[in-house]
Amino acid sequence: MNRKLSVGIAASALALVTAVGTATAASAAPADKAQVLSSWTQTSASSYNTWAAARANQAAWSSYAFDWSTDYCSSSPDNPFGFPFAMSCARHDFGYRNYKAAGSFDANKSRLDSMLYEDLKRVCNNYSGATKSSCNGTAWTYYQAVKAFG
């Protein structure tokens, strides 16, 4: 191969590597993605509220490339016995999908399942008496199911 051709190929390859590297860096998720994900998947009510606000304004978080998809409570009813569990299940799906994508699901599964249970119990706190007991029993059943099969 002659020298001019070799230099031309090398220069083209370098330009391509530089362009690809720049495009990759520009499209990469923000450095704090893991911290944001963690803050939205804690067991507290404030964590739930922050996640719910972000979910309502997903476009503002588009650079993070979070997976917001959900099937709610999967094959279980989303509103068993009239208890509105759908949003708690959506947050649980959010945690599962995003930690799986990050490659750190196993280290976070237990907390995500506990997060679901705490969210469901907060739903149940809107009731009293036998209705609250029934709701809490249903929440416990959902928690045990995700612990075992989630």
Give Cα separations from 26 to 4, 10, 23, 69, 137 (angstroms).
Answer: 33, 24, 5, 24, 48
Handedness of CA 96, 67, 37, 102 (dihedral sign): positive
Q: Which of 33, 51, 32 is nearest to 115 (CA)?
A: 51
Alpha carbon distance 90, 92 (integer Å): 5
Residue from 37, 54, 83, 92 carrying the catalytic annotation: 92
Q: Is 92 a catalytic residue?
A: yes
In degrees and rounded to multiples of 5, residue 44 shows phi and psi of -80, 160
Q: Would you say 117 and 145 are in contact if contact means Cβ atoms under 8 Å apart?
A: no
- The residues carrying an active-site annotation are 92
